[in-house]
Structure 1
Amino acid sequence: MTTTDETATAAASGASATDRFRTDKSAYDAVKDVPEERVDLLAREVLNSIYDTIRRHKVTYDEYNALKAWLISVGEDGEWPLFLDVWVEHVVEEVATDHRKGNKGTIEGPYYVPNAPDAVDNTIPMRDDEPGTPLLWTGTITSVDGTPLPEGKIELWHADDDGLYSQFAPNIPEWNLRATFHTDADGKFEIHTMQPAPYQIPTDGSCGKLIAAAGWHAWRPAHLHVKVSAPGHELLTAQLYFPGDPHNDDDIADAVKPELILDPKPSGDGVTVDYSFVLDPEA
């Protein structure tokens, strides 16, 4: 984890994301029963795609050696979670949830932290002088048949006005802009938070080298992360976006979907949003 005298570098953020992934996810346990035939199939198809690219574009030894050096640096920087979550996860999510009839989801990203504390008075933890625009969000969690879900839960996390996440950048309180919210007896919820800002993914590490070499941009549109759950229903992981953001159409993570764009309304010194969730029952 970063310390108070560090800046928010890609290496520090990447190391935090890698450590968090190792701590919170039993990646190997989840696939321990996958048959050898499937591993063989997937590995061979990925490798064959690489072979085809090399042959079609006549990749040189200099380019090959540059790739090796870059792959090594990605590991040294701890940026594999960032790389995979930005450029690969959106397709995995698409395949994994294409059967759902309820709300659309999107990627989790590398900065989720489980077990966020319950919100007090429906307000996310924040600093006394937290910058940004106050956001009041109301909605309901229901099942696909319209039944309200009184035991619904929303885990919410997002970047601050500087585009930084608590626990992945220095000088930010541990649970800043991270909390768990619960529905009432009618499946309704209310959330008080701050509207996040667009930000660039870290560019001072290996992923930044790829972005610069390819002439890409590093921007993500402003978004709220959520994990929405209820007993007997499939977990929904999503990001919610704001209209008018210049990077809704060219998000570097390719994670924006029309169904995930909010419709905020001005209210006092902030904005209000009404956005509800429909969850699919577990099979």
Structure 2
Amino acid sequence: MTTVESATASASGAAATDRFQADKSPFAAVKDVPKDRVDTLAHEVLSAVHATIRKHQVTYDEYNALKAWLIQVGADGEWPLFLDVFVEHAVEEVATAHRKGNKGTIEGPYYVPGAPERGAEGSTLEREESGTPLVWEGVIRSTDGTPLAGGKVDVWQDDNAGFYSQFSEGQPEWNLRGVFTVGDDGKFRIHTIKPQPYQIPHDGATGALIEAAGWHAWRPAHIHVKVSAPGHELLTAQLYFPGDDHNNDDIAQAVKPELMLDPQEQPDGSILVQYDVTLDPTS
């Protein structure tokens, strides 16, 4: 019996919400934020909303449609999806502006901690995949050029149909996910497949906004990665491929020139990419 892969907005949204609530401690991290900062941020966000209403003479019908939409986003469990697609890129730019090592970008809603350890070299495939085989070679270094022994490369990506394991039916739990731990030389070698562009789930509330605004829901092909090492800042990034139709109009606005790979086709039709990672020491 063949299981057909599928992913609806409601199912993906619910999974992303569950993961966020289980894996993050957002309120604990900001419990000591001064009240005057909360006051400033809340007032400025609300003032921007008020200014938009006044500038564009928003009607009660439009206001009530907004309320109904906000309620539906919550009911569909799509707040992680919506915020990660439309807001996170600005937060990431502010949070990492000081770094001298590799550039990062958004995490997105599909990260799952606890992926299997696969050594310094290994494969993320847990079934036969129809996509183009790809090998990513690299070295984890500090900003002074020193290889970082014990560094970890945590990767995840979609399959050849554009779906992520644990956020769609039909894939092994940890397919196309894995943690690669480097030795003294800082080197890693990851065997996977070339990812595919995909549309974010758009049959729910987020999709309703996309359709109403005349936008598209596409993300370019990318490999997600979190790179860490003792005494260094965590790098979260996505690596992209030249020539993708949506590199210049990514709905999540997460593409940066520094994250573009240089894939080299091999005689057997596979792809080799070489991309090193430089991490900033913690202060």
- TM-score w.r.t. length of structure 1: 0.97
Q: For residues 109 and 52 of structure 1, do their structure 2 counterparts lie closer, same or farther at Cα, with a shift above 3 Å needed?
A: same
Residues of 2 paired with 1:215 and 1:113: CA distance? 31
Give the match's secondary structure for 2:91: helix
1:185 shift after superposition: 1.4
Residues of 2 paired with 1:72 and 1:26: CA distance? 24
Give the match's secondary structure for 1:123: strand
User: In structure 2, what is the equivalent of residue 250 of structure 1?
Assistant: 249
Give the match's secondary structure for 1:240: strand
Write out per-residue CA displacement over residues 75-105 of structure 1, whole angstroms, 9 at most, x where no aligned residue.
Answer: 0100000000000000000000000000000
| 1:1-283 matches, cutoff 5 A | 7-119=6-118, 122-267=121-266, 268-283=268-283
Letter in 2 for 1:24: D
1:117 shift after superposition: 0.7
Residues of 2 paired with 1:69 and 1:185: CA distance? 56
Identity across aligned pairs (percent)? 67
Letter in 2 for 1:194: I
Letter in 2 for 1:200: Q
Letter in 2 for 1:131: S
Letter in 2 for 1:271: I
Write out per-residue CA displacement over residues 207-251 of structure 1, whole angstroms, 9 at most, x where no aligned residue.
Answer: 100000000010000000000000000000000000000100000
Residues of 1 paired with 2:13 and 2:127: CA distance? 28
Letter in 2 for 1:96: A
Extract unaligned runs of 5+ from structure 2: none
Q: For residues 237 and 9 of structure 1, do their structure 2 counterparts lie closer, same or farther at Cα, with a shift above 3 Å needed?
A: same
Extract unaligned runs of 5+ from structure 1: none
Q: 2:105 touches 2:254 (CA, 8 Å); kept in 1?
A: yes
Residues of 2 paired with 1:92 and 1:266: CA distance? 36
Residues of 2 paired with 1:7 and 1:274: CA distance? 32
1:129 shift after superposition: 2.3
Write out per-residue CA displacement over residues 110-161 of structure 1, whole angstroms, 9 at most, x where no aligned residue.
Answer: 0000111112682333243212010011111100011110111000000111
Q: 2:119 touches 2:182 (CA, 8 Å); kept in 1?
A: no
Write out per-residue CA displacement over residues 11-52 of structure 1, whole angstroms, 9 at most, x where no aligned residue.
Answer: 000000000000000011000110111110000000000000
Give the match's secondary structure for 1:170: coil
Write out per-residue CA displacement over residues 173-228 of structure 1, whole angstroms, 9 at most, x where no aligned residue.
Answer: 10000000011211111111111000000110011000000000100000000000
Q: For residues 125 and 254 of structure 1, do their structure 2 counterparts lie closer, same or farther at Cα, with a shift above 3 Å needed?
A: same
Residues of 2 paired with 1:232 and 1:239: CA distance? 22
1:6 shift after superposition: 8.7
Give the match's secondary structure for 2:140: strand
Q: For residues 130 and 195 of structure 1, do their structure 2 counterparts lie closer, same or farther at Cα, with a shift above 3 Å needed?
A: same
**Aligned alpha-carbon RMSD (Å):** 1.3
1:269 shift after superposition: 2.5
Residues of 2 paired with 1:6 and 1:232: CA distance? 40
Give the match's secondary structure for 2:116: coil
Give the match's secondary structure for 2:230: coil
Give the match's secondary structure for 1:247: coil
